[in-house]
Structure 1
Amino acid sequence: MSQIHSRVKPITKLTAVSSNPSVSGRVYPLLAADHALARHSAAVVMYYSENPFGSFILDPMRESLSKILTLYPTVTGRLTRTENGNWAVKGNDAGVRVTMTKVGSSLDEWLRSADSVEERDLAAFDDMPEDPYIWSPFRIQINEFEGGGVAIGVSFTHLLADPTSATFLLKTWADAHRGRPVSPPLFTRRLSLGDGEKIPNIATKSTTFYANKSKLDDHIVSPTKMSSVTFKFSNTTMNQCLSKIKPHCPNATPFDFLASLFWKQILKIKSNSPKDGQNNNNNNHSISICSDIRNSFQSSNSQRYYFGNALHISQLTIDPKEMAENELGHIVELVHNHLERLGEEEEETWSAMEWLESQKEKDGRYVMPFTMYGPELSCVSMEHMMMKKGNENESLSYATKFVKDSKPVHVSYNIGNVEGEGLIIIMPSNEGGLARNVKVMLPSKREVDELCEDQAILSFNPTMILGGRDE
């Protein structure tokens, strides 16, 4: 727990194990793309207005968790080193640590008053230790609020999975609890572009960006402290926003609009800020965009999914003068076109994977991980979480229902050890449709306070929750 006087009080700890033993001793090697993310941790917190658990220790909820853990040997296993020193997961059914807590407030009060520090208390946000061989790389925390609400937090090392994978894990658990059919995840990945008979092209913009990023922070030993806040934009507001910018970008997505809006306003705040020890560098007109690439190596109509890291980070740079002098619609068009080109140029995406795999020592050991979220301003897209349900768009996050018709009232995604200029995460909202939540993490509370008072952002009437002091 991060605070001495936290409202989150641990009640009990236990271990959830697979209902069917896995193949003991089987080793699941981790790829270069996984190793590159090893500096970071991650967490997903799902808030429910009703508590579906009862007494978890004897409840069917624990039975359903044990049932689905059989499908996730990399979740219940433990980290180990292979002969060449790279990380792998050894299946040994050691299980997942589960913590039960009581929260000293109601759910509504928490969402209004909790800060970014307190939210971390809901998910056992723990960095990987130097010797993680008996450490549970995934941890589940069940937090009961006064009045019946509950938050389920899943925290994990980014070495093993991304936030989308953790969402699938929770969705599988919820489906199993309701007696719905579940499908095992995929644990294989196409490693090479094409048929593997030709030398892949690793001379692309993506590989140049990754190479430069890997050289930036060898000296960094501790993360930048961040302050954060979450903005909620309604479906009505997003419809109006996208309609207004149609002349500039008729096919703009909510992500295109919100990423552009917050990028532009954050840069404005930073340019007007005194140099108070923050990472004010010459690249503050650049943003790195983190997007999901699962569809690149699995069928889009498959009922199964890849469990692991399936992320591609690309950089978009705009001249500061161009940013300052152009309307928001112009920036939206640039962001949209950037992502559209990435979607069309599969080689660009795969070249980054190939470059990471090529960066090995002579003995086959991968190079040291580097900061993937930073030091430049970074923005994570969760647009891939949206699914079609009839004529409506529904998010996978909010389809995670342990009880029929009882979807989460809020889902929060968190990344640990963010460096430099800050992080923006654009997520689905419980309202559905085009509604989105935007979590912003910046290097100081002053910057967050200024963002909360920014008139360009306030003109869209967002609701602000879970904002507060330095982490």
Structure 2
Amino acid sequence: MPNSKTRVTVHSKLTVVSDTPVKPGKTYPLSVLDHAMGFHTLHIIFYYRYNRLDDKNSSDLGRLRQSLSEVLSQYPPVTGRLISDDQGNWEVRCNDAGLRVLKAKVDCSLDEWLKSADGDEEKDLTVWEEIPDDPKVWSPYRVQMNDFDEGGLAIGLSCPHMYADPTCATTFMNSWTEFYRRVCISHNPFFHPPGLHGRTNPNTNTESAKYYEAKSRAKPPSAVKMSTATFRFSDRMIKKCLLEIQTHCPDATPFDMLAALFWSSVIKAKTPKNTQVHNLSICMDFRKRMHAPLPHGFFGNALHFSKVSTDLRESEEGGFEYMTKIIHEHLLTIDEEEYWSVIDWLESQKEEGTKYAPPFRMYGPELTCVNMEDVSAFATMIENMKPVHVSYHIGNVDGEGLILVLPSPEEGLGRTVMVTLPEDQTDKLCKDPSILRLEPTMLVSGRC
């Protein structure tokens, strides 16, 4: 939610429509995986050194608005409105109602913001709204254009998570900036929600299906004040750390290593230490992990959640290297049958065989770590400028918290890690020697 004392002031709103009208009566049903994400929202912020105010048409967004209208012609669901179908499930009425765009001014420079803002203040750069009771005239997608003093631009994109996962929303942004640069779209949108539906011979007897069933029954966690910190690790330090653990896990990826590092640090930060078993929920995109891969431009959600566990004694005795190994080995066990079994299970929960069951908390209540290494966040170039930083926020994250492992603007194995945790744990992570020895740069982390 917006802060009471904010340096971000929204000064105008407008609606951008597509260049090409959609065929009357066109609808787009949301898939079973989309419905499952209905509890959460998605917010992405792309930071650029680009000075939009140099554009002669800056009062009306200039070329950015023109290219947005063009890309919206390729994405009819983005300009549509949510309605319920005859079974009470969500679908999009593709009626060219348009995308809402807000324009805002930030009362500091871009560099000052990246050094001084915290995770809560960063949320002011995007729109945070829940789906209203009657969403027929509500714009699910929102874009906020934030101009900094002395130049600099942050583009905030927001939508209900059941509309898009991080890969999908980032691909939309990539396409927008490609239209802006007058180059061909790298990944055309692929609209086919029936592609992910329950099978004729369902299988719900897998570890993943059992895990989703347990998540659906989990009690809501107690409300705890959360805070966010962002750590950027260089290619050099990631390579150094992977070399150190090569004996224990020679095939470890940067995600394996960073997930283990932050998971073990969170376990140490918890007080009191009265939990003997610690669970980590791992979320990954499965578009390219299937035997017949989904196109990169698949529109919607293609995320899979699984659980890895360790007891306190093993984590303390085995250390960071042991944690890396069990994460790596766990991910090797996740095959395509696990993905399909979850879809089968979600389909089996339909009320009276037609209406999808109410959504439940996917990011939580246990600590959740999301592998976003392959999200092409830094392909969203304006002119010839990559973003200097990209942040991702998930709405309605409570419980033990969230760890996002993201790409970095640096070439190679550089990574960015965003953590949203109970406030006291975030403070401890910012001072944890095992993290600080990798010499991270702190961004948008306030007091950290």
Q: 1:58 to 1:433 in 2, by over 3 A?
A: closer
Any conservation in 2 of the 1:286–1:317 contact (CA below 8 Å)?
yes
- Identify the residue that residue 388 of structure 1 maps to in structure 2: none
- Identify the residue that residue 308 of structure 2 maps to in structure 1: 316
**TM-score under structure 1 normalisation?**
0.90
In structure 1, distance between residues paired with 2:108 and 2:60: 23
In structure 2, distance between residues paired with 1:236 and 1:419: 34
Any conservation in 1 of the 2:45–2:157 contact (CA below 8 Å)?
yes
Any conservation in 1 of the 2:119–2:446 contact (CA below 8 Å)?
yes
**Percent sequence identity over matched residues?**
47
1:199 to 198, 201, 211: 201
| 1:432 Cα deviation from its structure 2 partner | 2.4
1:434 to 394, 408, 413: 413
Deviations 1:315-360 (A, max 9, x none): 0011221111103112111111111221xx2101111111111110
- Identify the residue that residue 340 of structure 1 maps to in structure 2: 332
**TM-score under structure 2 normalisation?**
0.94
- Identify the residue that residue 208 of structure 1 maps to in structure 2: 210
Any conservation in 2 of the 1:31–1:357 contact (CA below 8 Å)?
no
| 1:299 Cα deviation from its structure 2 partner | 5.7
4+ residue runs over 6 A deviation:
none
- Identify the residue that residue 449 of structure 1 maps to in structure 2: 427
1:134 to 134, 137, 142: 137
Deviations 1:13-72 (A, max 9, x none): 100101001122212111221111111011110001122562161612111100110111
Any conservation in 1 of the 2:290–2:336 contact (CA below 8 Å)?
no
| 1:191 Cα deviation from its structure 2 partner | 2.8
In structure 1, distance between residues paired with 2:75 and 2:22: 9
Deviations 1:175-213 (A, max 9, x none): 0111101253111152358xx5x5122100001000010
| 1:300 Cα deviation from its structure 2 partner | 5.4
Q: 1:188 to 1:298 in 2, by over 3 A?
A: farther
Any conservation in 2 of the 1:48–1:150 contact (CA below 8 Å)?
yes
2:114 to 111, 117, 121: 111
- Identify the residue that residue 11 of structure 2 maps to in structure 1: 11
In structure 2, distance between residues paired with 1:152 and 1:367: 34
In structure 2, distance between residues paired with 1:301 and 1:349: 13
Any conservation in 1 of the 2:203–2:341 contact (CA below 8 Å)?
yes
1:226-265 matches, cutoff 5 A: 226-265=226-265
- Identify the residue that residue 382 of structure 2 maps to in structure 1: 402
Unaligned runs of 5+ in 2: none
- Identify the residue that residue 391 of structure 1 maps to in structure 2: none
Could you say what secondary structure the match of 1:255 adopts?
helix
In structure 1, distance between residues paired with 2:61 and 2:405: 37
Any conservation in 2 of the 1:284–1:376 contact (CA below 8 Å)?
no
- Identify the residue that residue 425 of structure 1 maps to in structure 2: 404
Instruction: Compute the RMSD of aligned alpha carbons.
Output: 2.1
| 1:130 Cα deviation from its structure 2 partner | 2.5
| 1:274 Cα deviation from its structure 2 partner | 4.4
In structure 2, distance between residues paired with 1:67 and 1:367: 36
Any conservation in 1 of the 2:52–2:147 contact (CA below 8 Å)?
no
- Identify the residue that residue 458 of structure 1 maps to in structure 2: 436
Q: 1:229 to 1:347 in 2, by over 3 A?
A: same
Any conservation in 1 of the 2:31–2:197 contact (CA below 8 Å)?
no
In structure 1, distance between residues paired with 2:49 and 2:63: 19
Q: 1:298 to 1:114 in 2, by over 3 A?
A: farther
In structure 1, distance between residues paired with 2:420 and 2:435: 16
Could you say what secondary structure the match of 2:333 adopts?
helix
- Identify the residue that residue 411 of structure 1 maps to in structure 2: 390
Query: What residue identity is the alignment partner of 2:377?
Result: S
In structure 2, distance between residues paired with 1:139 and 1:235: 34
In structure 2, distance between residues paired with 1:379 and 1:361: 31
Could you say what secondary structure the match of 2:21 adopts?
coil
In structure 2, distance between residues paired with 1:246 and 1:423: 27
Query: What residue identity is the alignment partner of 2:415?
Result: R
- Identify the residue that residue 289 of structure 1 maps to in structure 2: 282
Any conservation in 2 of the 1:286–1:377 contact (CA below 8 Å)?
yes
In structure 1, distance between residues paired with 2:283 and 2:61: 40
Could you say what secondary structure the match of 1:203 adopts?
coil
| 1:4 Cα deviation from its structure 2 partner | 2.6
- Identify the residue that residue 390 of structure 1 maps to in structure 2: none
Could you say what secondary structure the match of 2:288 adopts?
helix
| 1:429 Cα deviation from its structure 2 partner | 0.8
Query: What residue identity is the alignment partner of 1:417?
Result: N
